[in-house]
Chains A and B, each alone.
Chain A
């Protein structure tokens, strides 16, 4: 998105829960299903070894990134692909604009890509009078609704069948009680003519293999294969961290990314694109462009703790297990990437001052770390950003004061004992209002009644 709004997280989350309680129901149900599929798919393979291997390959790639970027450029160029380098989002859009102008592009079909959401590609094209059609069914739904995606893999999971029936009735003239099959059929018919008439197909890239210059894309519908095969020109936006060293590395990455995302052994369609159509081929684009996008990634790479977030393969598994994400879905985060991965990427890619309070949108339960196919240390990185926020005066002052007071108490045993004694004698029914910092907590919950005896005493008595 061109206009990130993480600062509104608290109000947006509260509004989602208050005004659209059905979103929580839909998101929770969908993420539980995604996660059940992932769990079953991990159990079928040596998932722990696969995860360690993926982590290792990405660490190797990232710590040799400049060399691999040069190799990828060389190989892509040899394959006949036009390579563009974009330090910023604006440079990436300008590279796209050049292609659009050179070919007089009027219509674009787009495959689902989080990077193009990050960059605001659709708004950019529409401002130039180019007609953009999202072709992934979920992306198509939210494009018709004028909404951003709420999940990395399932952009429309916050919307129910009833929502889609009403939308398609209005937009495509289907019957108000059309079945999912009928709705999908109507979307296919509407989009088929877009595929056949488009001047340009735009995709992201799950992986870009340096050794072979291969752009790899995973999907289930066939819209990515069509977007990259039917129009005469294909532009792929690829983040610089998406490289892989070797062609055969794809074997592990294609499989575990699919298992982590949807529980499939592999996505229904995988496209491995080396370049434009060759003389002995009857179809395919005659021109292929790869736009290598930095847009904050190299500064994230420079952070000694948070650089590990760049291993991310965008599977969405961390969203599916996150008790915080499950309450609201992705819109509250105010940015293309939501959930745990959004909370650790935002400070790196947007700057910490523009990402607050997302590092706090987590209970630090660590469920994301248990499922991440590249073993990103989410908790360490969240705490790292929180530390930085306190040091730079970006954290809430109440929290800073409370933590400093608590630290002071714990360093003075006698004072700590006195404070604990005072707490035990606090009339519990007025505890909430007597302790204003707890009011948000006690508004929804019973404050636990403290034990009448000190912990130290319980310990001594052998009861603890």
Chain B
């Protein structure tokens, strides 16, 4: 018998006399739907993790902000989903050499302060440069993680990263440090009005 058959047989035998439990249903079904404005809630949660937030009205303003912000950097890696208007006037560099990474989030989660980043945008750009700028349309922010997951189901890329603030660790003497392996600075640029 193969290992597969052996395991499945052992598991079925172990459960033969065990009462089967039903799935308890959706997570959060016991609480009221979150009320209030989603974008301010996202901003509060994201900044509490050490992330930074910039608000702009539209893509033109976002592009202008990035042109000014990127003046201090030397090379940039840009996610495949970032529109031309939002690309900084910097030399392109591979993610391992760039000091600025620019990505486009597929959504933002207010409940956890998370930017949802898909693999189609390029994973190294999201992780290797020490500073990471992430554009997020305010129309793509959702209140709960469950909403974000349900929206993705069915069109999942090979990988998704939920990024909630800068890379951090307290493994050295219990002292919090930033930028251990991922970016030490993450800036969410929110494009559009409150939802």
Contact = CB atoms under 8 A, between A and B. Distances in A.
Q: What is the predominant secondary structure among interface residues of chain A facing chain B?
A: helix
A298 B7 contact: yes
Contacts of B6: 87
A377 interface: no
B31 A301 contact: no
A276 interface: yes
Contact of A268 (B10, B24, B49, B153): B49
A65 B11 contact: yes
B21 A267 contact: no
A220 B21 CA distance: 34
A338 interface: no
B27 A252 contact: yes
For chain A, give the interface size range: 35 or more
A70 B161 contact: no
B174 A248 contact: no
Interface stretch (A51-59, A358-366, A413-421, A433-441): A51-59
Nearest to A245: B23
A57 B159 contact: no
A105 interface: no
B126 to A, nearest CB: 8
Interface in A65-93: 65-66, 69-70, 73, 85-87, 91
B174 A271 contact: no
Contact of A240 (B7, B28, B149, B171): B7
B144 to A, nearest CB: 7
A191 to B, nearest CB: 7
A126 B86 CA distance: 47
Contact of A281 (B113, B119, B171): B119
Most chain B CB neighbours (cut-off 10 Å) among A57, A220, A283, A298: A220
A60 B19 CA distance: 10
A221 B182 contact: yes
A275 B22 CA distance: 29
Contacts of A302: 10, 13-14
A411 interface: no
B119 A277 contact: yes
Contacts, number: 253
Contact of A222 (B18, B49, B180): B180
A195 B127 CA distance: 12
Given A156-B171, A298-B11, 11 more contacts: A63-B20, A64-B15, A135-B181, A162-B173, A195-B181, A214-B156, A222-B127, A222-B180, A269-B161, A280-B120, A299-B14
19 contacts: A30-B174, A49-B30, A141-B172, A188-B180, A188-B181, A196-B96, A230-B123, A240-B7, A254-B145, A264-B164, A266-B164, A269-B161, A270-B161, A272-B156, A277-B158, A278-B157, A292-B7, A294-B7, A298-B7
Interface of B: 2-4, 6-8, 10-15, 18-24, 26-28, 30-31, 45, 49, 80, 96, 111-114, 119-120, 122-124, 126-128, 144-146, 149-150, 153, 156-175, 177, 179-183
Interface of A: 29-30, 33, 46, 49-50, 52-53, 56-57, 59-60, 62-66, 69-70, 73, 85-87, 91, 135-138, 141, 154-157, 159-164, 180-181, 183-185, 187-188, 191-192, 195-196, 212, 214, 220-223, 225-226, 228-230, 240, 245-252, 254-255, 264-278, 280-284, 292, 294, 298-299, 301-302, 304, 307
